[in-house]
Amino acid sequence: MAKKSYRQAISEALRQEMERDHRVIVLGEDIAGGAGGDAEQDAWGGPMGVTKGLLPLFGRERVIDTPITESGFIGAAVGAAATGLRPVADLMFVDFMGVCFDQIFNQAAKFKYMFGGKATTPVVIRTMYGAGFRAASQHSQCLYNIFTHIPGLKVALPSNPYEAKGLMIQAIRDDDPVIFFEHKAMYDMEGEVPDESYAIPFGQANVTREGDDATIIAFGRMVNFANTVADKLSKEGITCTVVDPRTTSPLDTETILETAAETGRVVVVDEAHPRCNMATDVSALICQEAFDKLKAPIKMVTAPHAPVPFSAALEDLYIPSMDKIEAAVRSVTGKSH
Amino acid sequence: MQLSREDLLKAYRRMVMIREFEEAVHEEFSAGSIPGFVHLYAGEEASGVGVCMHLNDNDYIASTHRGHGHCLAKDCDEHAMMLEIFGKKEGLCGGKGGSMHIADLSKGMMGANGIVGGGPPLICGAALTAKTLKTGGVAVAFVGDGASNQGTVFESYNLAKILNLPAIFVVEDNGYAEATSSRYSVAGSQVNRGKAFDIPAVEVDGSDFFAVWEAAREAVERARNGGGPSLIHSRVLRYYGHFEGDAMTYRPADEVANYRAQKDPLMQFRRRVTEAGLLDGSALDEIDRSVKDRIAQCVVQAKSAPEPTEADLLTDVYISY
Ligand SMILES: Cc1ncc(C[n+]2csc(CCOP(=O)(O)OP(=O)(O)O)c2C)c(N)n1
Ligand SMILES: [Mg+2]
């Protein structure tokens, strides 16, 4: 199997789906780049180069550079989805959802239910999240929790290149609005990615490690941190199950509950702020459904309740670290150094 | 009103300060000493300074992601700014904001902004305060050509007009929003957009300090006298990439070089004031030298200044868990 980056994996998914279905279009700010200028077209392919190469293949009819009008073009993608296209819109940084949230949560999310099941809205909104880029408070948030709260939206959080391709293909084929979260620190991450097209079903968690002592449930980029910690601890004889839920909506509650019950010792890792996040959500689920199986209080490892700071020194303290995950596992297992 | 010799020296000093500051940041970013997203204002100096020469600490401005120039034009401290861009504890915002969020409310600088189109509504608010509390102040929003398409901008035009706010919208059109040309992204013209709201609107050559200064004089006077909002469409060019690290393949190769040779705002200013006998070259040379030294000193100090520590992580947020 070929090694591909997270960037290439998403790009390949988009290309293959655009080839397969002429109703799939991509749109966003500088999704190609160079529009109206006198030099290179397709100059950017989005800020991270994910969509570079689509313009020469599909033309400006299907690869649409938009003005800086998130309310306008995200809303247009939603409207186009409800009327026959299958748009993949690039919101760039998830922080910008502040500009266009109405079109997502009052419009896209609600059509199907509000209209008595008569509408489908197959729109994908790609967006970057996460800290680590020294990009400061307005370009570093992890807002997937907010979307997860809204009935009608699906939320995908691919944790590596293989996941990214399969989840993107599923997102495009899905008839509901999908918010597709790409961690900005992962675009260069490489992994095995099949050339052929494949879809990873939503709501089916991936168990990336199996162990007896603790269960770590982690989201997005944090899955990789959890895997590394699990590998390190296994050398000491502390073995962990690691669960990547893949999508926060729908959430694979079954796998979460099963794996939590198996070890009875649970750590939940979420890069978001500590209140009303996936960590609190999953902890509540386990407490409600599997309280009798718990052998220790659940530990949450999250970012602090503060905006993301610019300073490198502060941002490094801000992001949930592998050290903190390791400490949490040691704490729930009672196995210190 | 005419520009005094003192005003001219101050204007030139501020423009040179911006240029030197941005050149230094460009170098330090390339060398890897500055992290994050950095957007430089080099090339656009006459626009920000031409406007801000009419303002005092009682007046507010809201800037954009390309904020260093507006900060310096509004008299923010260059030393504290440099420390902020290096993410240091003694930076203007304690190292928590960085390039995209430099602010100094005591100077009437409401912040650079990471959200395109974030500033104009805030400026309506600052203008509302000025009007309600009769402070005599005005408020200015700088808006990029790309930002000019954002709904918040049109909403602000409307709000400012119907509330007769002392607000000024300066659309700094450098031809591009990231890699997209304003020829593609902007329907209609900036001036007509203002006029559609019955807001007096003019277009100026933003590389010409005197043209900007004159247009801003009228707009600020109108605002101070209760005449409501104005719009200035200022045509400029940025010398560097959208952000530092941008390969700029969407621009013709000679675009910046030609502009620098023919229209550089500092060069134009110098030529104009020396030819008219308003200032002599040696006074300007002296400013060039002293500003260069000052910026070099800021960089040296920024490099060795202390980083924030863990104790700073959770300050200025009212509660943490
Ligand atoms: C709401 C929002 N959308 C998109 C962006 C990403 N972005 C940052 S700067 C920029 C281009 C802005 O262009 P313009 O307003 O012309 O300002 P310039 O960079 O030319 O000074 C874009 C799209 C953003 N920061 N905020
Ligand atoms: Mg621009």
pLDDT tens digits along A117-147 = 999 999 999 999 999 999 999 999 999 999 9
- Amino acid identity of residue B79, one-letter, is H
Q: How much is the pLDDT for A336?
A: 79
Mean pLDDT, rounded, for B40-55:
98
Q: Is residue B83 part of a domain?
A: yes
Element at B137 (helix H, strand E): none
pLDDT at A1 over 90: no
Mean pLDDT, rounded, for B201-227:
98
Q: Is residue B317 part of a domain?
A: no
DSSP structure class, residue A50: T
Cβ(B74) to ligand 1 under 6 A? Answer: no
Distance B174 CA to ligand 2 centre (A): 5
Mean pLDDT, rounded, for B255-269:
98
**Ligand 1 nearest atom to the CA of residue B173, by list position:** 16
Q: How much is the pLDDT for B109?
A: 98
Q: Is residue B289 part of a domain?
A: yes
Report how far residue A86's alpha carbon sits from residue A179's, in angstroms, rounded to the nearest whole number.
14
Q: Is residue B313 part of a domain?
A: no
- Domain at A3-192, CATH from 3.40.120.10, 3.90.230.10, 3.40.50.970, 1.10.10.10: 3.40.50.970
Choose the closest CB to A68 out of B98, B149, B309.
Answer: B149
C-alpha distance from residue B302 to each of A84, A269, B13, B19, B72 (Å): 55, 36, 21, 18, 17
CATH of the domain at B21: 3.40.50.970
Mean pLDDT, rounded, for B195-220:
98
ipTM comes to 0.96
What one-character-per-residue DSSP string does A130-159 give?
A: -S-SS--TTS---THHHHHTSTT-EEE---
Return the structure tokens found at B321. Answer: 């868990």
pLDDT tens digits along A147-196 = 999 999 999 999 999 999 999 999 999 999 999 999 999 999 999 999 99
pLDDT at A298 over 70: yes
C-alpha distance from residue A46 to each of A33, B58, B77, B118, B154 (Å): 7, 40, 35, 21, 26
Report the residue count for chain A.
Answer: 337
Residue in B127, B132, B11 with CA at minimum distance from that of residue B62:
B127
Q: What is the pTM of this model?
A: 0.97
Give the three-state DSSP class for A71. Answer: helix
Cβ(B137) to ligand 1 under 6 A? Answer: no
**Domain residue ranges in chain A:** 3-192, 206-333
Mean pLDDT, rounded, for A263-273:
98
Q: How much is the pLDDT for B283?
A: 97
A335: confidence class by pLDDT, cuts 50, 70, 90: confident
Contact B35 A317 (CB under 8 A): no
Q: Is residue B203 part of a domain?
A: yes
Q: How much is the pLDDT for A126?
A: 98
Residue in A166, A193, A261, A282 with CA at minimum distance from that of residue A3:
A193
Contact B36 A34 (CB under 8 A): no
Report how far residue A249's alpha carbon sits from residue A156's, in angstroms, rounded to the nearest whole number.
7
Instruction: List strand residue ranges (DSSP E) for chain A, in order.
Output: 3-5, 24-28, 63-65, 86-93, 124-129, 154-156, 178-183, 190-192, 206-209, 214-218, 240-244, 247-249, 266-270, 299-302
> In which domain, by residue range, is B215 found?
5-304
CB B78 within 8 A of CB B25: no
CATH number of A206-333: 3.40.50.920
Q: Is residue B27 part of a domain?
A: yes
For residue A73, which ligand has an atom nearest its CA?
A: 1
Choose the closest CB to B313 out of A30, A67, A309.
Answer: A309
Active site residue A337: no
Distance B148 CA to ligand 1 centre (A): 10
Q: Can you name the residues that pair with B180 across neighbouring β-strands?
A: B177
Q: How much is the pLDDT for B1?
A: 58
Q: With b meaning 16 or more CB within 10 Å and e meaning fewer, what string describes A245-255?
A: bbbbbbbbeeb
Contact B307 A65 (CB under 8 A): no
| Residue appearing with tokens 């134009």 | B268
pLDDT at A233 over 80: yes
Mean pLDDT, rounded, for B173-178:
98
Q: Is residue B166 part of a domain?
A: yes
What percentage of chain A carries pLDDT values higher than 70? 100
Instruction: List strand residue ranges (DSSP E) for A37-98, in order.
Output: 63-65, 86-93
Report how far residue A74's alpha carbon sits from residue A102's, in angstroms, rounded to the nearest whole number.
10
Q: How much is the pLDDT for B129?
A: 98
- Is B309 in CB contact (< 8 Å) with chain A? yes
**Which residues does A240 contact at the CB level (< 8 Å), separation at least 6?**
A209, A211, A213, A214, A215, A216, A226, A229, A230, A233, A234, A263, A329
Tally of domains within chain B: 1
Average pLDDT over chain A reads 98
pLDDT at A29 over 70: yes
Distance A102 CA to ligand 1 centre (A): 21
Q: Is residue B318 part of a domain?
A: no
B320: confidence class by pLDDT, cuts 50, 70, 90: confident
Choose the closest CB to A35 out of B150, B151, B181.
Answer: B181
B279: confidence class by pLDDT, cuts 50, 70, 90: very high
